[in-house]
Amino acid sequence: MNAVRYRNAAGEIRLGRLDGDTITDAGVAPEMGFVPTAENWALITGASGATCAAADVQLLHPVVPRKIIAIGLNYRDHAEESELDIPETPVVFAKFPSALIGHGETIVVPREETRPDWEAELAVVIGTRVHRATTANAIDHIGGYTAINDVSGRRAQLETPLRQFVYGKSFDTFAPLGPSIASMDGVDLTDVRVSSRIGDEVLQDSNTRNLIFSVAEIIEYVSRGITLEPGDVIATGTPGGVGDSRQPPRYLEDGDTIEVTVSGVGTLSNPVRREA
């Protein structure tokens, strides 16, 4: 089952159930959007309002999280292409929620950023509060999963001696999320396909089987010191194929449309524009 947050023709922000290309309205969206708790999934399951075509409305990022926690270098091939050692513990950083945009919205590259890059990722959304999860129960605290493009300004990310991540990954519009949140019903997060493309060019194509740290291990590690709340988003890392590691490098260009696909979620598509 898939939940969406959308703006209808009257300008109202609503929640809905996505069935194929059709949205069934589930009522007015709260401030945090769709937080994937059991109660809210029941609301989506029972939605019986008006229907509309997804193409006829604006799909917004489905949840408005308090925290976006991201994991770096979590696919072996991405660590290798970055010429960095395989990490012994998860590499944790943050993206600011102010960077969020939804499906179809424009990624705007700041004029100073010369190396804008893509990172297709599976993101999980917390459904129940957790502190000090175990690997055995971590998955129970996930309410759903979605796609995120961890758009990265490599110039800003790598221009300092310590290679800090937060600034260049938190530029406005650098966190496309969506287009839906998929429920956990029957899903195996150790076997989810993650890919990206621009036009007919496939950029990344991998599977969460290739994660260095599993989703359960990430939640166990992060929740040792950070309480995870319903609606929090964890981006689990990107596979190899990013633009900065290509020979020659390939960056997001004005006029591109970057697509990120996560199986079960759908395709998150965003045009790219350089700041004037």
Domain C-terminal end among 59, 85, 106? 59
Residues 55 and 109 in one domain: no
Residues 16 and 103 in one domain: no
**Residue 87 CA to chain centroid, in angstroms?**
22
DSSP, residue by residue, 36-85: --HHHHHHHHT--S-EEEGGGSEEEPSB--S-EEEEES-BHHHHHHTT-P
Residues 82 and 210 in one domain: yes
Residue 131 has pLDDT above 90, yes or no: yes
- Give me the percent of the chain exceeding a pLDDT of 90: 93
Domain C-terminal end among 32, 59, 86? 59
Q: What are phi and psi for residue 222, nearest 5 degrees?
A: -65, -40
Does pTM surpass 0.85? yes
Residues 43 and 109 in one domain: no
Instruction: Give the C-alpha separation, 24 to 53, whole Å.
Output: 9
Residues 116 and 39 in one domain: no
How many Cα atoms are found within 13 Å in the side-chain-facing hemisphere of 218? 31
Query: pLDDT tens digits for 86-117?
Result: 999 999 999 999 999 999 999 999 999 999 99
Closest to 59 (Cα-Cα) out of 100, 91, 93, 120:
100
In this prediction, residue 20 carries a pLDDT of: 97
Instruction: Give the C-alpha separation, 218 to 88, whole Å.
Output: 12
- Domain residues for the domain of 54 are 2-59
Residues 130 and 239 in one domain: yes
Query: pLDDT tens digits for 214-258?
Result: 999 999 999 999 999 999 999 999 999 999 999 999 999 999 999
Residues 86 and 127 in one domain: yes
Give the model's confidence band at 178: pLDDT under 50 very low, under 70 low, under 90 confident, else very high: very high
How many domains are contained in the chain?
2
CB 192 within 8 A of CB 263: yes
Residue 24 has pLDDT above 90, yes or no: yes
